[in-house]
Every structure is written in structure tokens, then in C-alpha cells.
Amino acid sequence: MKIIKKNKNPKKLEVLEENNPPQLKSEEKVDITLSKSIDENLAKFKAFLEDSSDAVFREFKLGSQGIPCALVFIDGLVNSEVINENILKNLMYEITMLERARGQSIQAENAYDFIKEHAVSVGEIAEAETLDKSMLMVMSGEVALIVEGSKKILIVNARGWPARGVSTPDTEGSVRGPKDAFTETLRVNTALLRRKCKDPNMVIKTIKLGRRSKTDVAYVYIKGITNPKLVEEVEKRLNQIDVDEIMETGQIEQWIQDSYLSPFPQVQLTERPDTTISNVFDGRVAILVDNSPFSIIVPAGLYQFFQAPEDYYDRWIIGSFLRFLRWSASLLAAFVPSIYIAVITYHPSFLPTPLALAIAANRVNIPFPAFVEAFLMEITIELLRESGARLPKAIGQTIGIVGGIVIGDAAVRAGITSPSMVLLVAITAIASFVIPTYSAGIALRLIRFPLMILAAVLGLYGVVLGFILLNIHLVSLKSFGFDYMTPQAPLVLQDTKDWILRLPRHLLWNRPASVNPVDIDRMDQDPYKENKNAK
Amino acid sequence: MLNKHDRLGGIQYIALISSTIMGVIAISLPNIAIESAHEGALLSTLMAGILATIFAVIMNILGNLFPKKTIVEYLVTLLGKSLGKLLGLILIIYFLSTTALILRVFSDALKGLLLLNTPLEVIMISMLLTAVYLCLNGINGIAKLSELFLPIIILSILLLIGLSSSNFSFVRLRPVLLPSLWQSIKSIPNLSSAFLGYEIILMVTPFIARKKANIPNTLIGIGIPTVIYTLLVIMAIGAFGLKPTQQMNYPTITLARKINFPGAFAERFDIFFVLLWILAAFTSVANFFYMASLSLVRLVTLRNYQPFVYFLAPIVYMLAILPQDLPEIKMVNTYIGYLGLSISILAAVLLILVLISGKKEHENG
Amino acid sequence: MVKKWILISLMSLYIIFTAGCWDRVEIEKNAFILGLGIDSGKDDNLVITYQVALLEAFKGEGEKEKSTQQISIESDSLSEATNTLLRRFGNTPNLSHCKLVVFGEEYARKGIKDSLDYLFREPNLRRITSVCVAKGQAKEILDSEPQMAPSSAMVIDQIITQNSTNNSGIFPFTDIGYLHRNFIRKSDIALVGVKAGKDNVEVLGAGIFKDYKLVGWFNDREVTGQRFILGEIHRGLLTADLPDEMGGRLTLNAYNISAHTIPKITDRNIKIKTKVLVEGDINEVTNPDPLTDTKATLEYWGKAMEDDIRDAIETAFKKGRDTFGVDCFEIDEKIEGYYPKFWNNHGKEWDELFKTMDLDLDIQVKIRRVGLIEP
């Protein structure tokens, strides 16, 4: 047996699991084979874990022969009741009753099989033949049962760690529709999805990512709807990730997105299971990450960021109105400050005379040019937003009040800014919060600033140039090889039914063609028509 | 890749043609039409459009005979290396000078309308750099952007036409309804420069998905500008009368100036219209510029066109600042119009040549 | 990808280094000129009066103070006067919100031709800026301070553009676009007449121009007639004087007026045919007789109204044709439209031809409702 050398570098395990493609680049070979001796096996575990206070090594003797056994688990990740009632009690107490009833004692040679077959009263067990596999299981919250005389280690599921229950969505509130949100536990999240789709064709594949963190990453799709090439591409991109740790879906997002030089999100993040599952039904792939209450949906088009689940739950007129409102709000949020700057510094003739005179009169004593004024105010509102988001909720409200007074009144009275500018900044801020997806909203807020600079230099011509540049950028973006600006450019006519307007349900018979699903029909084409014929 | 749209679709083909044709000229078209054709303005605009349609269809048929080549390449196949390359060079010069001309006319107009004190160079360079940025995205980006902007452009012009209907008087239009045929035909060459841009068909057919570059699509693509231009001429004459329109540099903008924009936040429709017109001008500049760099790279038989975009941008700028004043620009415009017409005729000759010699490229070859 | 970003940074560098912000004028640094008055001064000079908005008064709070200031400059030409204005002001003169151009009566009689080009060429001046001619000095008009509105120019503009649809006596659409169109066609024009007191303004009739020289005035009634021939009349109150026993003074609220004028040429005899259809309600009768026969009365009133309209139109036409010899009815344009060949041959003799022209009227008045009481 090779001695595990202790050095200052943390040890690395050579992973040889067949289903786990990310390979560790091991600097130091560790012998991962297990021996029949419990002492040797325990020593291997201890070599890694003895410094950790949460690792528990519970050694005990089994049966009348006193076969040495040991439980290895991480305190806090396991359910101690299961260990006490279903493992230790069985192994230490009831097994002797069994021996007595059968009139035979357990020998070291068959102890392992006997335990597996008769003694452990837990539903989910597994066997590990190598150290790395069993170690991974232990670190994931399972209990490793080492038995003298066996080269295998029995892995018993006794997971039970502190977890948050399913709660309402924090960032994507809705008036109608289900109120559950993803939690930090992958299993709970997949269960939430399964509950919404009982089709056995829905595949939830799990891989482990992160050299050290070994995070479970699951991707969900429906066989027979999702384009297999898309699934392949998702697998390919996920498997390319080779980093130490994966903490959050956001990290996955950054590794699998197409262009890292764009402020626009190229995948959709959501914490709502209903949004996720409806996108999966549309032929997209959802990616879930353990420890993250968000799911990623790929591919994403710009239009998706303007959709809220309620659009589909409400009647179509209301849904369409809300959609339209959000699109206009996004244009407002991105362009209004720059248009304002351009108009009042370059083209006051654009305004109706009374408005022009009113704005001019309000600005008479303002010491700054309009651009500086607007820039200051926009920065202020971003500061307020950011501090409000970071602070505890109780103090966050104070920020709102202070901010409201500071920019709403004091700045105007102090002659720093004009009332019209305050109005404008407030409108753009509100408009930018209308967009349901946080990351898209922040991208839109960000592009205001270059647009404002262009407006300050070239007036409305600059704004139009900015608009053109923005569109060139958006048009050139891709998400998993799909065009970002669908269904607008390239025009996919059948998808425009569910774009700026959300047409009645019976017209939305097709899944988005821009995702290129295998099965495009969501239902029979125009069921109303057939009903009429039937009558 | 996953994307099924790696080749351009039919709508993108239509958008490319329409948005290349519809450009700067839209704001001065009624003036040009009346200046050259007087009473025949309307008829001759329509006829110039029909002539352009005929040429476009010829180019379309020609392009489809060589589904994998642009004109620069099949010129060599058809006419031999030296003559083919020479004509290819002329084509490049045409594309380059058109880019420069559009850029210049656009900048002049914008300076006069919106930014009176801003130097011409600034307007030109900022526009050109934006075009360079688009061209680096390749034909896919250009097609998608055209597709994106075309509805905006069409809607803005239709809005202009709709809103100025209150200034429209049928009496003023009556004189142009029964023009002399000869005068109308005579002024077609002058007007046909307004419809230039359909030459893009010669360059883009290899990028279009099979069977999408068909004649109906071409007809729609060129029909849109023809209808819109004709409507513009009708509106301008109906609103001002013949002689006043002839005296206006930018009758379409003047049309917009007469409109009282219904809305509380913006009063001047003309500024609004100019802004949307910038989009039209931009797509024209960028499309022509892309064609110039693409034809150059095909002429020297290289694959990557991107360095040529950088290389050609200063040349376009130099060409654009060459003309000194408005008459010179108009003169250049006339020459380029004739050059464009001769390229169209060249395409027709080539088609006849192919049909006689049967030198077409096989679909599989 | 990286190349693109090199390009973008290049662009932003370019913008930053060349940033002159050439056209930038902060909105409060503009001197918004609301009205432009042109009078004649000494030795063929012009006296240009600018009505400049005083921004403090537009703040939307506090007492109403003086909201405009008038500056008069004597100079050769309009552009020179604007240039002079730069010497009097820290702010940049901005004509883009100019609502009104007024010609003084004295100047108008001398001819307004030499100041027109500036109005057409100046890109900031809007084409829908109203143009009128003052009864008296243009400066008086701009100097007057109407009680209800911040500026006399804005009030007059509103009267001309908005109230002309409801009042048939206000000559409509005399804006720069109208001037330009007729200037190029070498047609004669009519402009709205304006009169001002110290704290009120009034739009009165129209000034008739021949060769861009003021030759006389139309009163309200003649303007109504003129508008019938022009076909530019839609609504308004029409009145007719009747004998006392038939109702006295009758006022008709015409809510739908359509008027079309079509020229007819036979040999060298030019005739214009104006077809008028008026639909209206009775608004007021000064001497009502409650017990008359309804049907007959209405018919009589309709006839009387028709006669009155005919009289108004004929008065206006005769005054234009005989007294002034000015075609201020845009008949030339109609002839050009309907008889382009004739116009090409005889357009130059139009002044002579107009004097020989006849008017043919076809007027129909339909009284639809009578209000809340029987006639």
C-alpha cells in the first residue's frame, strides 16, 4: 500500500468513475483500491478526513464474532435518526437476535453480504469498490459502512441536512400562477419539475461538475420534443467546464454562454418551476445546479426576457397588453435619458412650445449641463437601487425614503437638478423594473450610459447611431447557436404570435420554431375550427 | 451548427434588396423626378421602377444559374480571366463610389437638417465606422439588420404619407396624371439612379437558401421601393404642386415639416422622420460597403473579407469628401447612375451569353 | 470578436477626442423667439421686432409677470437683424418656436417680397408658422399683452390654426408653407389681418396682396365668401338679416359645410362654378314668432340663408376681381389642375384673364334641427 503523503497541498483524488467525465489532473497519485482490512480502509479515510471535525468515524463490533465494522459519515449531512434506528440499532442489537434465532453466527467472510441483505433497513443503498467513489458519497451526505473482510463498502442513504423549504419566489413575483420556487436542494427542484410533468420522456440527467466541489448539475429535456442536437450541444458545453468549484447557476451561465463580451444575458435564469417546465415543453433545455435556487434555460432569445408566466395564465388581451407594456418600458428605460439629453441640448424645436419653455424655465438656475445633470441623477438612482438591494429589508426601506427625499426634493431645492429631470429619472427607473428578468433589466439600464454619451456628443443623430449599434450587436448575438433576436431577425412568422403580443391560446398551436424542436405541434392546429365542423 | 438559418431566407433576401434601394434618395426623390420629367414625374418614377424590376429579374436568373458564385467569379468563367477581372474591378469601383456617394449625400442632408454646425467629417466618419462594425458581422448580420429596420422604414414613410394626407389636394396632382409619354421615357435614366441597389442580387445569390432567391421574392423586394417612391412623388406633388416641389431640396422632409405631429411630447414630425430615415440611409451605406469589400475579396480569390473592410473604409471616406459642392455631387450622381445602368445592361448581356453558350454551373458541381 | 471591440474602442476614442459638441446649446441658453414682426423703417430699412420669451415667467408657479420682451432692431435684412440680436443677448436666438410672423401694414403696402426668402430658407423656422398682416404696426401686435395667455404671438397663432375651423370669418392656413407655395407659383395671396390693443388682440378680416404688396382688406363677411370659393370652410356661424316678421336676425350653426370650386373653360370664356352645401341647426332668431307654420318657415329661412351666402360670395369675388384685380381664391391653381394645357399657354396672362372671369353659384342650405324649441 502506498503511503499517503501529507504535504501542504490539499490532496487530490484520481477519479475513475465511468459516468463522470471531468478528469482530475492529479499531481499525486493516491491508491484508491480498497483492501479487505478495515483498518487499512479506515486509515485511507482518516488520511483525508481526520483533520475535519465534522467527520465521524464510528467503530463497532458486529455480532457474536465481534467483526470490526465502522461507519463513516459527515455530521450534519446525515439524519442521525436513520443512523441510530435503521443502522446502528440493527447492526448492534437486532443482528444478535437474528443470529440467535437462526442459530448461526455471522462470519467475517459473509458479514458484508449478510448486512446488506438482512440488517440495513434503509431503502436506498449502494456499493462502492473504490475509495474515491465512497469518499464522494460520504461527502454528499451518505453513510459508508466498512466491514472487515470485504473489499466493498456499503453506502447507505441517510441524507438529511438543513434545507430551506419550498417558498415563494423572491425575484419573480406573480399575481396568478403557482407560488412555489426552487430551493437550494437539487432533488427538491427536480421533484418540483416531475410534479408538473408526468411524461416519462422527460429526462433529468445529472453530471458532477467542479474538480473539488463536485456539484451535481442536472439538465432537463423532453425526448421527442427537444432537438437532440441541442441536447448534444448542452452536454458538450457542460462537459467543457473544468474549474474547481461551481457554486451557482450564474457560474454555469458564464461558462456556457456564446459571447462573454455582451452585457445581455444569453441564457434565461428563473427561480420558477412553472417557467422552467413550460420552456422545457417548448423544446428548450433547463439546467439545474445543486445549491442554487435558479435554473438556466437555453437557448434564450431576447423576447423571452419580456415574458412573465402570468402572460399565459391571464386572458390573451391582458397578457398582450402586459407584454406590450414591457416592451415599451424597455425602450423607455434604455432610450429616454439619452433622447432627453439630445432634445434639450440639441433640438429644443422637437418639443411643443409650452413644454420647451417650461423645461427651459426649470433649468434656468441649474449649474450643470443637461448631460452632467442626467448622469448624476442616473448614477444616484443606481446607487439607491444597489444599496437597497444589499441592505437588510428593514433598513432598505429607509434608503427608499431617504432617496426619495434626497433626489425628489432636496436636490431640486438646492438647485442641483431640475424637476423635469427628477421626473424623467423616476420614470426610467420604474420602467427598467418592469422587465421581469433581472439580468435583462440591468443590461438595459447599463446601455443607457453609452447612449447618453452619444447623445451628448451628436444629439439625436448620436442616439440613432447608438440604436443602430445596439441592434447590430443584438443581431450578431447567438444563444447556443440560435439567433438572439428571433422571431424578429430573422423573421420567424409563426413565432410572432407569441412575441410582442400573446395571441389567444388556440392560435399558439406550435412550439417556437426558432428553437427548432423535433415535434413542432403543441396541439391540433386550430382546435376551434374542428369543433365547429363537429357541430 | 444548430442554427438552421445559416443561409439567408426569402424574407431576408427581400429585405436586403428593399433596404439597399431605399436610402438617402427618398428625401429628395420628388424633386429629382420633377426636375427631370416635369409633368411626367409620376409616370417616369413608375417606369423607372419597372425598368429596375426587369433588370433585377434578369440578375436573379443570372445569379441562379451560378448558385455558388458571385458575379465577380462567374465573370471570369464567362469572359476569360483578363476581361472578367477588368469588369470585376469596374464593379468594385461602382460599389465603392456608390457607398461614398450615399455617405456624402446623407451627411450633407443631415448637416443641413439636424446638425448645422457639426463638421461633415464627424457625421461621415461616425456613420462609416458604424457601417464597418456591421460589415464585420458578415452577410448574416447585414441581412438580419435589414430585416429588422425595413419594417420601421416602411412604417415611417407610410406614417408620413398618412399624416400629410390632410395637406393633399387632388387638384394639384391632376397635371401629372396625363403626361406626355416621350418626356417620361426620356427622363428614366435620370430617375433610375434612385432605384440603384438591386445589383446586390448579383452578389448575394450564393448566400441565399436554395429556391429562395426566386423571381416572386425579387419582385416583392423591388416592388416595395417602387410603390413607396411612387407614393412619395404623388404626396409631394399633391401637397405642394409641381413648381414648388421643384424648388425644394428635400421635398419629403418639407412634407414632414407641414405635419402637426399628434402627440404631447414631440411636435416636429420632420425631425422624427429624419431620425428614421437615418436607418434607411445606414442600411444602404452598409450594404453597398459590404458588397464592395465582398467583391474585392472574391476578385483576389481570398476567403476572409474582414481585413478588406478595414482597408476599404478610408478609401470610401476619401472618395466621399472629394466633391466640393452640391452641383458636383449631382454630377457624380448622374455618372454613377449611368454606371449602374451599364452594369445592369452588362448583366443582361451576360445572361444572353450564358443562354447561348450554355456555360452554366451545374447544381452539383 | 476581439477585433470588434477594438473597433468599438476606436469609435469611442474618436468620439471623445473629436467631441466638440458643435451644435450643443443648453435649452435654457436659448432665447426662444415666439414672434417676428417686420415693419418698415427709415430709408428702405426694416424694423424687425422679436418677441423673446422670458423664461422665468414660464416656471409654472408664482404670479404672472411680464412673460415676453420685445426687441426692435433696424437693419437692411432679416439675417442681419438676427446677427445684431447676438450683440444684445447672452443667449442664442432660436427661431424654432417662432409661432407668428407679422408684417406691418405700412411695410406690407411697400411689398413684402424682399423678406420672404429668409423665411423660406431658414431651417429652424417651421413651415406651419402662421403669417399675418397687422392693421397698424407689427410692433404693436407683438407689444400687446393679452390677459389670458403668455404671449400675443401664441394667441394669434392659436386663433388662426384652431378657431378658424369654427369661425368662418377667420382666414385659415396662412402659414409659411402657404406663402412659399404661392410665391413659387407667382400667385397672389391673402393674409390674415390682425389688430391689437394694449391688452388684447383680434383677428380681423384679411389683407389682400397683389404682387406681394398689400392692396386692401377683406372684412369678415368677405373672408367667409372667400373661404367658400377656396373650399376651405367646414363649420361656423352664418347669419342672415330677415324682415322682423320673419324672424329678424337669423343665426345658423353650420356644422357641415362642403364647398367645391371647379373651373369651366369654353373658348376664351372662363367660368368657375362653386357648389356649396350647408347643413346646419338654428342657433338663434332675434324675433321669434312661436305660432308659425314650421315647414314653410324653415324653407323660407333656408332660402334666405342661401341668398345671404350667395351675396357674401359674390361680394368677395367682385371685390377681389373688380376692386383689387387680385385672384386671392387660388383659382389659378384649379385651372392648372383641370386645364394644364390651357394654363401652359395662357398662364402668363392670368391677371388679365381673371378680370374677365365669371362666377356661377349653386348653393343649398339644409336646416336640420331647430334646437330645443319649435321655430
pLDDT value of position A173: 81
Instruction: Specify whether C211 is located in the same domain as C346.
Output: no
Instruction: Name the grid cell of B320.
Output: 466621399
Across the A:C interface, residue pairs with CB atoms under 8 Å apart total 82
Task: Give pLDDT tens digits for A350-399.
Answer: 888 888 888 898 888 888 889 889 998 889 888 888 888 888 877 777 87
CB contacts, 8 Å: C180 with chain B: 244
Task: Give pLDDT tens digits for A463-516.
Answer: 999 999 999 999 999 888 888 988 888 888 888 888 888 988 888 888 888 888
Q: How far apart are CA A208 and CA A246, in angstroms?
A: 10
pLDDT value of position A531: 58
- Pair B29, B255: CB distance under 8 Å: no
* B220 interface with A at CB cutoff 8 Å: no
Task: Give pLDDT tens digits for C285-343.
Answer: 887 766 567 778 888 888 888 888 898 999 999 888 888 888 888 888 888 888 888 88
Rounded to 5 degrees, what are φ and ψ at A170? Answer: -85, -45
- Pair A56, A71: CB distance under 8 Å: yes
Please count the structural domains in chain A. 3
Instruction: Specify whether A44 is located in the same domain as A73.
Output: yes
Chain B interface, best mutation among A261, A339, A345, A350, by max B CB count within 10 A: A350
Instruction: Specify whether A447 is located in the same domain as A317.
Output: yes
Instruction: Specify whether C149 is located in the same domain as C239.
Output: no
pLDDT value of position C37: 92
CB distance A459–C23 less than 8 Å? yes
CB distance B172–C3 less than 8 Å? no
Instruction: Specify whether A367 is located in the same domain as A239.
Output: no
pLDDT value of position A64: 80
Its ipTM equals 0.94
Q: Which residue has the higher pLDDT, A48 or A17?
A: A48
Q: How far apart are CA B17 and CA A49, in angstroms?
A: 70
Please count the structural domains in chain C. 2
Q: How far apart are CA B200 and CA B16, in angstroms?
A: 8
Q: What is the span of the domain harbouring residue A276?
A: 186-300
Average per-residue pLDDT in chain A? 85
Task: Give pLDDT tens digits for A278-337.
Answer: 999 999 999 999 989 999 998 999 999 998 888 889 899 999 999 999 999 999 999 999
CB distance A360–C99 less than 8 Å? no
- Pair A449, A378: CB distance under 8 Å: yes
Instruction: Name the grid cell of B351.
Output: 445572361
pLDDT value of position B194: 87
Instruction: Specify whether C184 is located in the same domain as C42.
Output: yes
Of all helices (H) and strands (E), which one includes residue A237?
A: helix A228-240
CB distance A233–B2 less than 8 Å? yes
Cis peptide before A487 (omega within 30 of 0): yes
Subunits close to A (at least 3 CB pairs below 8 A) = B, C
Instruction: Name the grid cell of A214.
Output: 463536485
> Would C9 be classed as within a structural domain?
no
> Would A338 be classed as within a structural domain?
yes
| β-strand pairing of A215-222 with A202-209 | antiparallel
**Minimal Cα distance from C6: which residue of B?**
B133
CB contacts, 8 Å: B207 with chain A: none
Q: How far apart are CA B97 and CA B110, in angstroms?
A: 20
Position B76 pLDDT exceeds 70? yes
Instruction: Specify whether C203 is located in the same domain as C239.
Output: no
Instruction: Specify whether C108 is located in the same domain as C39.
Output: yes
Those residues with Cβ within 8 angstroms of residue C364's Cβ, 6 or more apart along the chain or in another chain? C276, C277, C278, C306
CB contacts, 8 Å: B130 with chain C: 11
Task: Give pLDDT tens digits for A131-156.
Answer: 888 888 888 888 999 988 888 899 98
pLDDT value of position C239: 83
- Pair C207, C217: CB distance under 8 Å: yes
- Pair A113, A140: CB distance under 8 Å: no
Instruction: Specify whether A372 is located in the same domain as A463.
Output: yes
Instruction: Specify whether A340 is located in the same domain as A436.
Output: yes
Grid look-up 420685445 returns C70
> Would A333 be classed as within a structural domain?
yes
pLDDT value of position A22: 35
> Would C6 be classed as within a structural domain?
no
**Minimal Cα distance from B119: which residue of C?**
C22
| β-strand pairing of A125-128 with A153-156 | antiparallel
Instruction: Specify whether A295 is located in the same domain as A333.
Output: no
Q: What is the DSSP string of C21-34?
A: -TT---GGGEEEEE
CB contacts, 8 Å: C95 with chain B: none
Q: How far apart are CA C125 and CA C179, in angstroms?
A: 13
Task: Give pLDDT tens digits for B306-365.
Answer: 888 989 999 999 999 999 888 898 889 888 989 999 999 999 999 998 888 876 665 543
Answer with the one of A156, A178, A195 that is the final residue of a domain.
A156
Alpha-carbon distances, residue C264 vs A16, A493, B348, C359 (angstroms)? 103, 54, 50, 10
Position A210 pLDDT exceeds 90? no
CB distance C14–B125 less than 8 Å? yes
* A53 interface with C at CB cutoff 8 Å: no
Instruction: Name the grid cell of A394.
Output: 428593514
Convert A207-239 to b/e letters by CB count within 10 Å (16 or more is b). bbbbbebbbbbbbbbbeebbbeebbebbeebbe
Task: Give pLDDT tens digits for B248-262.
Answer: 888 999 898 888 776
Label residue B160 by pLDDT band (50, 70, 90): very high
Instruction: Specify whether C200 is located in the same domain as C253.
Output: no
Instruction: Specify whether A379 is located in the same domain as A454.
Output: yes
Instruction: Specify whether C238 is located in the same domain as C367.
Output: yes
pLDDT value of position B217: 93
Across the A:B interface, residue pairs with CB atoms under 8 Å apart total 109
Amino acid at A288: L
Of all helices (H) and strands (E), which one includes residue C94?
A: strand C92-94
- Specify the CATH number for the domain of residue C301: 3.30.300.210
> Would C17 be classed as within a structural domain?
no
Convert A5-22 to b/e letters by CB count within 10 Å (16 or more is b). eeeeeeebbbbeeeebeb
- Determine what percent of chain C is predicted with pLDDT higher than 70: 92
Structural domains present in chain B: 7-357 (1.20.1740.10)
Alpha-carbon distances, residue B220 vs B14, B196, B231, B242 (angstroms)? 7, 16, 16, 30
Cis peptide before A490 (omega within 30 of 0): yes
Average pLDDT over residues C89-99: 87
> Would C19 be classed as within a structural domain?
no
Amino acid at B153: I
Other CB atoms within 10 A of residue B307 CB: 12
> Would C10 be classed as within a structural domain?
no
Closest residue to A364, CB basis, from C28, C124, C126: C28
Q: How far apart are CA B255 and CA B267, in angstroms?
A: 14
pLDDT value of position A532: 56
Average pLDDT over residues C89-102: 88
Chain B interface, best mutation among A236, A491, A496, by max B CB count within 10 A: A491
Task: Give pLDDT tens digits for C162-192.
Answer: 888 888 888 887 889 888 888 888 888 889 9
Cis peptide before A392 (omega within 30 of 0): no
Instruction: Specify whether C246 is located in the same domain as C271.
Output: yes
Amino acid at B74: Y
Task: Give pLDDT tens digits for A238-261.
Answer: 998 888 888 888 889 988 988 888
Least confident of A334-338, B54-58, C201-205: C201-205
Position A231 pLDDT exceeds 90? yes
**Minimal Cα distance from B280: which residue of A?**
A468
Q: Which residue has the higher pLDDT, B96 or C59?
A: B96
Instruction: Specify whether C174 is located in the same domain as C302.
Output: no
pLDDT value of position A26: 43
Q: How far apart are CA B312 and CA B328, in angstroms?
A: 23
Rounded to the nearest angstrom, the minimum Cα separation between A298 and chain C is 22
Position A533 pLDDT exceeds 70? no
Alpha-carbon distances, residue C93 vs A352, A446, A480 (angstroms)? 17, 36, 55
Instruction: Specify whether C79 is located in the same domain as C95.
Output: yes
Position A445 pLDDT exceeds 70? yes
Instruction: Specify whether C199 is located in the same domain as C185.
Output: yes
Subunits close to B (at least 3 CB pairs below 8 A) = A, C
* C337 interface with B at CB cutoff 8 Å: yes
Position B290 pLDDT exceeds 90? yes
Helix axes C220-230, C294-318, angle to 10 degrees: 90
Answer with the one of A266, A300, A334 that is the final residue of a domain.
A300
- Pair A154, A180: CB distance under 8 Å: no
Grid look-up 439629453 returns A341
pLDDT value of position C1: 56
Position A5 pLDDT exceeds 50? no
Instruction: Specify whether A239 is located in the same domain as A368.
Output: no
Those residues with Cβ within 8 angstroms of residue C181's Cβ, 6 or more apart along the chain or in another chain? B240, B241, B244
Instruction: Name the grid cell of A414.
Output: 438646492
**Minimal Cα distance from B242: which residue of C?**
C185
CB distance A475–B2 less than 8 Å? no
Instruction: Specify whether A296 is located in the same domain as A327.
Output: no
Label residue A81 by pLDDT band (50, 70, 90): confident
Position C160 pLDDT exceeds 60? yes
Q: C5: exposed, middle or buried (C-beta count within 10 Å: 0-12, 13-18, 19+)?
A: exposed
pLDDT value of position C291: 59
Grid look-up 415563494 returns A168
Instruction: Specify whether C144 is located in the same domain as C224.
Output: no
Q: How many residues appear in chain C?
A: 375
User: Comparing C-alpha atoms, which of B363, B294, B286, B316 is closest to residue B72?
Assistant: B294
Instruction: Specify whether A280 is located in the same domain as A320.
Output: no
> Would C261 be classed as within a structural domain?
yes
3-state SS of A266-319 is CCEEECCHHHHHHHHHCCCEEEEECCCCCEEEECCCHHHHHCCCHHHHCCHHHH
Q: C79: exposed, middle or buried (C-beta count within 10 Å: 0-12, 13-18, 19+)?
A: middle
Q: What is the DSSP string of B85-121?
A: HHHHHHHHHHHHHHHHHHHHHHHHHHHHHT-SSS-HH
Q: What is the span of the domain harbouring residue C274?
A: 219-375
pLDDT value of position C220: 86
- Determine what percent of chain A is predicted with pLDDT higher than 90: 26
Label residue A128 by pLDDT band (50, 70, 90): confident
CB distance C25–A346 less than 8 Å? yes
Instruction: Name the grid cell of A444.
Output: 438595459
> Would C16 be classed as within a structural domain?
no
pLDDT value of position C111: 86
Alpha-carbon distances, residue B257 vs A92, B26, B165, C43 (angstroms)? 96, 15, 13, 36
Answer with the one of A483, A510, A525 that is the final residue of a domain.
A483
Average per-residue pLDDT in chain B? 88
Instruction: Specify whether A336 is located in the same domain as A472.
Output: yes
> Would C100 be classed as within a structural domain?
yes
Instruction: Specify whether A119 is located in the same domain as A232.
Output: no
Q: Which of residues 23-82 of C touch A (CB under 8 A)?
A: 23-28, 30, 32, 34, 53, 55-60
- Pair A273, A178: CB distance under 8 Å: yes
